[in-house]
Structure 1
Amino acid sequence: MATIRITTDSVATLMKSAVPNKTTYYFDEDLAGFGLYRTTTGTGTFFAEFRPVAGGSKKRLKLGRVGTLKANEAREAARQAIANAALGKDLAQNRSDERASLTVEELVSKYIETRNKKVSTANLYRMLLKKHIKPRLGSTKAIVLTRSDVNRAHSLMSQEAPVSANRAIKLISAAYGWGAQNGPPDKKGVTYVPEGMNPASRIELNEEEGRERYLTGSEMMAIGAAMIEAETVGMPVDAGDAKHAPKGQLVVMSPYATAAVRLIMLTGARLREILNLRWDEVDLDRGVLRLPDSKTGKKTIFLPAAAVEIIKGLTRLGAFVIAGESAGTKNEKPRADLKRPWAAICKRAGVTGVRIHDLRHTFASTGVGDQMGLPVIGALLGHSDPSTTQRYAHLADEAARRAVEAIGSKIAGHLGGK
């Protein structure tokens, strides 16, 4: 063991000297506990040596190789390590914990797998992980990820897809919240990340414009007329349901496509709830659909008389009410979507800017406009969170104004002797 003043020049001179025949340690003259050692291969390594505040044997923390780490950088790192040890912080243990820590990708993956999300939700999460999180943060150890790292990643994600960037940050935040409460099943009491650690919290997300498009009464009439024409006379193929018919030829639209649109409009159901609907989930005697699994879990959809008649008018071709191309076959699958027929219907009706999901909004806005309370509308739509139904609160206010005016006018009339 030797004592030297560790500087850039002294280290350079030492590294040019003859290779020792055994590992030799050199301690700094000024900073106690700071040093470097040189092995029989000639490699030099900076280290910090300290005794934990609670007592016990000394610990030696490797700081980095000579050449990779400069002498002044190594001195500062040693100073911090020794100071932290005096405060009761064990950097050697911290580094050991860091090496054993899951990466961000592994933490998010375990969250997705363990939480047993619905298939559609899990697939969305995996897409966010693969496309946005993994390329920018995936290899970072979960316990050393900082809010600055997340902010920087969110900024890069936002350049490609602002909304998906928000979803990715929320997924990371949820994974950290879960990781702080859970850990390896074989290590009781050990969590994946420290309690309270969540570098994805309080990240300023991109503004998202809430889109609410409701069909007017005249637009609903136009869409109804277009569907009648489509399923009877037929419509030109240029925007129609058929994929390979000659352009300009009139093609009659599948009655299952128009039935699906009408059922969504009449019930406020989600698209997949109708397209995935099986005959054994339909109870026409009681006028309900009993879905064993929906976006919000088990769900009952009430059918108005018009919807019951639509379902009664459909021929049963397979397991699904809305028959798809594989209806009745061994590997039957539900219809994939309604994009082509819906585009044709809207074009013929002269209605623009309306998505299939807006039919659900139209159902809700119609109910609120007829002075039905938000709790009732939320129950019909299957909202698990009452706050989701609050998007229609302004419509409820308008309905309330009309209601109070009608009631007030009637009472005022009585008071005036009318």
Structure 2
Amino acid sequence: MKAKITHQSVQAAKAKDKAYELRDTTLSGFICRVQPTGRKSYLVEYARGKRLTIGNAAVLTPAQAREKAKAILGQAAEGGDPAAEKRKAKADTLRNFIEREYRPWARANRKRGDEICDRVLRVFSTLADRSLSAITDNAVERIRTSRLNSGTSPATVNRDVTCLRGALSFAVRAKYLDAHPLADFKLSDTDSSGKVRYLSDDEAKRLRAALRARDDEIREGRNRGNQWRQDRGYEPMPDIPLDGYGDHLTPLVLLSLNTGARRGELFGLQWDDVDFRLEQITIRGATSKKNRTRHVPLNAEALDALTRWRRQTSGQGLVFTGRDGARLDNVRKAWAGVLQDAEITAFRWHDMRHTFASWLVMRGVDLNTVRELLGHGDIKMTLRYAHLAPQHKADAVARLV
């Protein structure tokens, strides 16, 4: 509907079953939109398919709205993008941009979206209240140098910068920034083939012994508790079989050592992903780091661990759950206790993945097969284990003689 937008025409516009618009006959692109609820608002259409809301007609007069529309149309005529400028003004600082714009996107598109956003705001806190356009590679370089001098590893600093880079890349794509301020920023050099921590045969024996002792202790505690319940007429807890496990920790550890699966991948493993007939597990793309589904064979120890564990569970849903049946989020306390009992030091949960790969390489498995089992995107990550196969190099050099 076309009409000159005036106080009288806006007042005369009545609500209908569907929203409709009054298009001004004197200023092309100036619009008054009337909602079925009776709410009226001014808009400006400055290009095909591109609009901006000017404001509520109950607050702005037609003359005020018209002047704002003229300013926006003038900005567009000079080659600007009024919507982008409005977004820039809304996300004026790094903190505001992260909280209002990037965090909702990261939650929907990144596995650890909130963690990434929190990391950026924590590590780069001195930049958080700067405008996006004021973030420079020199400012980031000063923070990097300070962290390296304080003892933070280059790999950790690189991950921090990568998180910030990702946020700023989104800002460029969404037109909050005209150019990426870290486009030429170089990450710190790291030794991707450095020494990896893996279990020696003796440490592996001590770890398994500590796990068995823990299971026995939990089983004995359950038996004592059930005797106490029986004496008082209470319903007993389920018995833990002699060949069973005290809880999820032992089967988790055994599966990690024998499949190389990441902790998060095992936390998200479903019983439907375990194929006892084909003797393999499927790591779904939704739970994997690289969003790629892969299939990992189960050796005798891993298959036995899952078979025993299934007898102690419902065999449905998540393979490993917390006490309330929800997805596990950590096993830090129990894991630290087992390592202490086994007298194993400087060993993280992720090092079991290194152990899996290292054992394979030392037993002559080629690096490409190891890469496929680990789910690495390319061979570069797997090359860190190459030094564990010295016989291949020795054989090659021997051919010169």
Aligned partner of 1:147 in structure 2 is 137
Contact 2:283 2:294 in 1 (8 A): yes
Q: Deviations over 1:39-68 (max 9, x none)?
A: xxxxxxxxxxxxxxxxxxxxxxxxxxxxxx
Deviation at 1:226, TM superposition (A): 2.2
Aligned to 1:60: none
The normalised TM-score by structure 2 is 0.60
Instruction: Please identify the structure whose Cα radius of gyration is greater.
Output: 1
Using the TM superposition, give the Cα deviation of residue 108 of structure 1 relative to its aligned residue in structure 2, in angstroms.
4.9
Superposed CA deviations along residues 64-95 of structure 1, whole A, max 9, x for unmatched, are: xxxxxxxxxxxxxxxxxxxxxxxxxxxxxxx9
Q: Quick one: distance in 2 between partners of 1:268 and 1:390?
A: 16
| Aligned pairs for 1:341-352 within 5 A | 341-352=334-345
What is the match of residue 321 of structure 1?
A: 319
8 Å contact from structure 1 (residues 150, 200) kept in 2: no
Q: Does the 8 Å CA contact 2:216/2:246 hold for their aligned counterparts?
A: no
Q: Distance in 2 between matches of 1:323 and 1:151?
A: 43
In the alignment, is the contact (CA less than 8 A) between 2:158 and 2:187 conserved in 1? no
Structure 1 residues 343, 399: CA separation in 2 closer, same or farther (over 3 Å shift)? farther
Deviation for aligned residue 1:255: 4.1
1:373 paired with 2:366, answer yes
1:356 matched to 2:349: yes
Question: Structure 2: how far apart are the matches of 1:204 and 1:144?
Answer: 20
Distance of 2:295 and 2:257 partners within structure 1: 16
Separation in 2, partners of 1:140, 1:99: 13
CA 1:361–1:98: 2 relative to 1, 3 Å: closer
Q: Deviations over 1:383-408 (max 9, x none)?
A: 12432212212224x14135659x97
Deviation of 1:140 after TM superposition, in Å, equals 2.3
Backbone CA RMSD of aligned residues: 3.8
- Native 8 Å contact 1:253 1:341 kept in 2: no
Q: How many angstroms does 1:227 deviate by?
A: 2.0
Match of 1:254 in 2: 246
Residue in 1 that maps onto 2:162 = 170
1:268: how far off? 0.7
Name the SS for the 1:289 alignment partner. strand
Unaligned runs of 5+ in 1: 1-94, 184-190, 238-251, 327-331, 413-418
Structure 2 unmatched ranges of 5 or more: 1-84, 222-243
**Residues 278-357 of structure 1 correspond to what in structure 2 (within 5 A)?**
278-292=270-284, 293=286, 294-297=288-291, 298-314=293-309, 315-317=312-314, 319-326=317-324, 332-357=325-350
Contact 1:371–1:403 at 8 Å: present in 2 too? no
| TM-aligned CA deviation for residue 290 of structure 1 | 2.0
TM-score normalised by L of structure 1: 0.58
Deviation of the 1:333 alpha carbon: 0.7
Q: 1:403 to 1:212 in 2, by over 3 A?
A: same
Task: Render the CA deviation track for 1:315-367: whole Å, top value 9, x for unaligned.
Answer: 224632224211xxxxx312332223322322232222211111110100011
Shift of the 267–124 alpha-carbon distance from structure 1 to 2, 3 Å rule, reads same
| 1:264 counterpart = 2:256 | yes
Q: 1:98 to 1:401 in 2, by over 3 A?
A: closer
Counterpart AA for 1:278: Q
Higher RCO structure (Cα 8 Å, ≥6 apart): 2
> How high is the sequence identity, in percent, across the aligned residues?
23
Name the CA distance, whole Å, in 2 between partners of 1:333 and 1:97: 39
* Cα pair 1:370 1:399 within 8 Å, conserved: no
Q: How many residues align?
A: 286
Q: Secondary structure at the match of 1:337?
A: coil
1:277 corresponds, among 269, 280, 283, to 269
**Which residue is equivalent to 2:61?**
none
SS at match of 2:326: coil
Do 1:267 and 1:303's aligned partners in 2 also have CA atoms closer than 8 Å?
A: yes
8 Å contact kept, 2:219–2:246: no
Change over 3 Å in CA distance of 1:106–1:171 after alignment to 2: farther
Among residues 171, 178, 181, which one is paired with 1:198 in the alignment? 181
Whole-Å separation in 2 of the counterparts to 1:170 and 1:404: 39
Structure 1 residue matching 2:294: 3-state secondary structure = strand
CA separation of 1:323 and 1:300: change in aligned 2, threshold 3 A: same
Whether the aligned pair in 2 keeps the contact of 1:98 and 1:144 (CA below 8 Å) is no
Distance (Å, rounded) in 2 between the aligned partners of 1:361 and 1:98: 45
Query: What's the CA shift string for 1:13-56, capped at 9, x where partnerless?
Result: xxxxxxxxxxxxxxxxxxxxxxxxxxxxxxxxxxxxxxxxxxxx
Alpha-carbon contact 2:107-2:114 (below 8 Å) kept: no
Given that 1:368 and 1:399 are in contact with CA atoms closer than 8 Å, whether structure 2 keeps it comes out as no
- Cα displacement (A) at 1:214: 1.0
Equivalent position SS for 2:112? helix
Query: 1:277-299, CA deviations, whole angstroms, 9 ceiling, x for partnerless residues?
Result: 22122111112222332222133
